[in-house]
Amino acid sequence: MPDAAPVLAALSSCIQCKLHRDELAQVAVTEVAKALPQAGWVGVYWLHGDTLELGPYVGPATEHTRIPVGTGVCGTAVAEDKDQVVPDVRARENYLACSARTRSEIVVLIRSNGKVVGQLDLDSDQVDAFGKDDHGFLRMVAGAVGNLLPMMPSGVSADDSAAPKAE
Ligand code: SME
């Protein structure tokens, strides 16, 4: 399993700096992209009502900046309240393509105070790029993000898109 300790330490330091939650997410996606080089795209989607909205990401720009709950792999994760591991996206009917080269995808839900508030989404050009260890690592990262969110200046609310940036 990739070493989660440096990632968790980097996330915890966000609290001391009183960063905004998107800055916390930026640290998460940057560290995850370093730890899982098989991922060509790593991003966070935040849940706002019944729509997932793209937050910070590492990789090429995507047209899927807003995804309704229940749509695509990302929206299915929320609708089913379940992480999604897709070894080959060509076998998944409701897959929303960000890149024609993507072969596998993993979506790990971010929960805060027991409520789904967002997700980590990773794409790879390799088939079956994300194993059980990678899933476990991502669950730790998502867990840390979810636990730290209530301590951020912008709070944890899924409806705080208008929250001011940290000073
Ligand atoms: N493939 C996702 C859409 C997001 S992109 O991968 C960045 C889906 O099917 O929901």
- Give the model confidence (pLDDT) of 68-127 as tens digits: 999 999 999 999 999 999 999 999 999 999 899 999 999 999 999 999 999 999 999 999
The whole-angstrom separation of Cα 45 and Cα 61 is: 14
pLDDT value at residue 13: 80
* Centre of ligand 1 from the C-alpha of residue 69, in Å: 12
End-to-end CA distance of the chain: give it in Å, rounded: 37
pLDDT bin (cut points 50, 70, 90) of residue 164 is very low
pLDDT at 157 over 70: no
Q: Which atom of ligand 1 is nearest to the CA of 62?
A: 7
Q: Which atom of ligand 1 is nearest to the CA of 96?
A: 9
Say if residues 50 and 68 touch (Cβ distance below 8 Å). Answer: yes
Amino acid at 86: V
Q: Could you tell me which of 44, 52, 59, 38 has the C-alpha nearest to residue 11?
A: 44
The whole-angstrom separation of Cα 38 and Cα 23 is: 23
Q: Which residue has the tokens 């330091």?
A: 13
Instruction: Return the SS3 of 98.
Output: coil
pLDDT value at residue 155: 60
pLDDT value at residue 156: 56
- Give the chain's radius of gyration (CA, Å): 15
- Give the model confidence (pLDDT) of 37-65 as tens digits: 999 999 999 999 999 999 999 999 999 99
Q: Residue 26 corresponds to which tokens in the numbers above?
A: 């930026």
pLDDT value at residue 158: 44
Instruction: Please work out whether the CB of residue 156 comes within 6 Å of at least one atom of ligand 1.
Output: no
Q: Could you tell me which of 142, 153, 157 has the C-alpha nearest to residue 23?
A: 153
pLDDT at 27 over 80: yes
Instruction: Please work out whether the CB of residue 92 comes within 6 Å of at least one atom of ligand 1.
Output: no
Element (H, E) at 26: helix 21-35
Instruction: Please work out whether the CB of residue 76 comes within 6 Å of at least one atom of ligand 1.
Output: no
Q: Could you tell me which of 71, 153, 76, 150 has the C-alpha nearest to residue 117?
A: 150
> Burial code of 19-47, b = ≥16 C-beta within 10 A, e = fewer?
bbbbbbbbbbbbbbbebbeebbbbbbbbb
The whole-angstrom separation of Cα 26 and Cα 108 is: 16
pLDDT value at residue 98: 87
pLDDT value at residue 159: 46
DSSP assigned state of 88: -
pLDDT value at residue 89: 97
Instruction: Please work out whether the CB of residue 46 comes within 6 Å of at least one atom of ligand 1.
Output: no
* Centre of ligand 1 from the C-alpha of residue 62, in Å: 9
pLDDT value at residue 20: 85
pLDDT value at residue 49: 97
